[in-house]
Amino acid sequence: MDTTALEYDPAVGGSSPVAIARRNTYQVKTKALALGFHQVGIAAISSEYPPLPSAVSALQRWLDRGFAAEMKWMAAPKRFDAREFMPEARSVICVALNYYSPEQRPLEQRPLEQRPLNPSFSQAESAIEPAPAQPELNQPELNQPQFDQPQFGKIARYAWGRDYHRVLETRLKALAQWLVTLDPRAQSRWAVDSSPVQDKAWAQEAGLGWIGKNGNLITRQYGSWVFLGELFTTLELLPDRPHTSHCGTCTRCLEACPTGAIPEPFVVDANRCIAYHTIENRAETLPSEIAENLQGWVAGCDICQDVCPWNQRFAQPTDIEDFRPRSGVVAPRLDQLAQLSDEAWDQAFRGSALRRIKPAMWRRNARASLKLDPNVSFQASSQSLPRSADLPPDRPVDPSIDPQLDSESHP
């Protein structure tokens, strides 16, 4: 974000197109921050040539190599030319919300016979906050693995709180409505990651951060723990300078990925990505190379973000209450998820982005993490997942909000 725009004195007049654009840019950024966005930047759209040529070329190469796996929506035409998303748009207002919560996941639990003998493992474990006390497990059946304490799954931080699409869209809609007061002729259309828009490329173009070697947008202020949104508008605004990359020679994310899903810097192969398989893969079983390396992940994966130096140094707790962890998401019981019923799923994940993972997928992911045969019956603890009554209440959703999902958007 170009902070000089916020230092602009709105009292300075001028009726030239540049003066009007500068004044409008200042007011737009000021309003976006007032609405609670943590970052805001501007990118321009030319009517003469396609935007983001480098990002478009990279997307096409990624698709040609088959790295999108079964995500057919990634080839949507609008993703290649934002002018198809909104032909009249001349500017893109890019925003970011910090979602980081500092709660630590429990120790990695493994069957006793699978515990490593490396002393450095114990030293690493001692530095992590221990798992919360849990009721005793029922006596396991003889054909089940024996654990020294209940096993816990891992859920990516983005999904710990309320569905971020709702939080972003509420603020984006408010900003869009305000633009009309700035200029009655202004038209706009907002987008989140469910829209056929290259959100990370636009954020980099608008100066919010840079796309890291793990494929995530990294910001100087918050690391990569940010949600992105865009507001395409007909207003002519002054663009910010695109952000430069600051990954340097670091390769921690490439080296840390247990499945080798980052074969080269800035390229992620969804076919080998734990996050893709636990969230998007609808198959009855996971590929063996994924199942054998889950390390407890049942909903997404944060490994490449957890090891990033920018996250380790600059992550800061969010001030948005909606993103605070709901009950049971930081340390879910794998034995409970392995027998999750449709009713329990509906109660536990209302108003959560985790609803994208259907009940059968939760059971599949948990059983794979427990190293259980999918065809063997399984008896779990009688303790149930947190129900909706145990969760922080959702704020009412404005019924007039339209997510604006396109037919090319993912299901």
Q: Tokens 């045969």 belong to which residue?
A: 373
Q: Do the beta carbons of residue 194 and residue 251 sit within 8 Å?
A: no
- DSSP β-ladder status, 226-233 and 297-299: unpaired
> Which residues are catalytically annotated?
193
d(CA 362, CA 354): 10
Please give the structure tokens belonging to residue 91.
């500017």
Q: Which of 246, 244, 270, 247 has its CA nearest to residue 259?
A: 270
Cα within 13 Å of Cα(337), Cβ side = 31
Q: Do the beta carbons of residue 336 and residue 382 sit within 8 Å?
A: no
Angle at 270 between CA 364 and CA 258, to 5 degrees: 75
User: Which residues lie below 8 Å from residue 395, measured CB to CB, with a gap of 6+?
Assistant: 162, 322
At 153, which helix (H) or strand (E)?
A: none
> In sequence order, what E strands does 219-340 have?
226-233, 297-299
Q: Tokens 């114990």 belong to which residue?
A: 122
- DSSP β-ladder status, 91-98 and 226-233: antiparallel
With the C-alpha atoms ordered 80, 82, 84, 85, is the resulting torsion angle positive or negative? positive
At 176, which helix (H) or strand (E)?
A: helix 164-182
Beta-bridged to residue 102, according to DSSP, are none
Beta-bridged to residue 232, according to DSSP, are 92, 189
Q: Do the beta carbons of residue 77 and residue 195 sit within 8 Å?
A: no
Please give the structure tokens belonging to residue 312.
């380790």
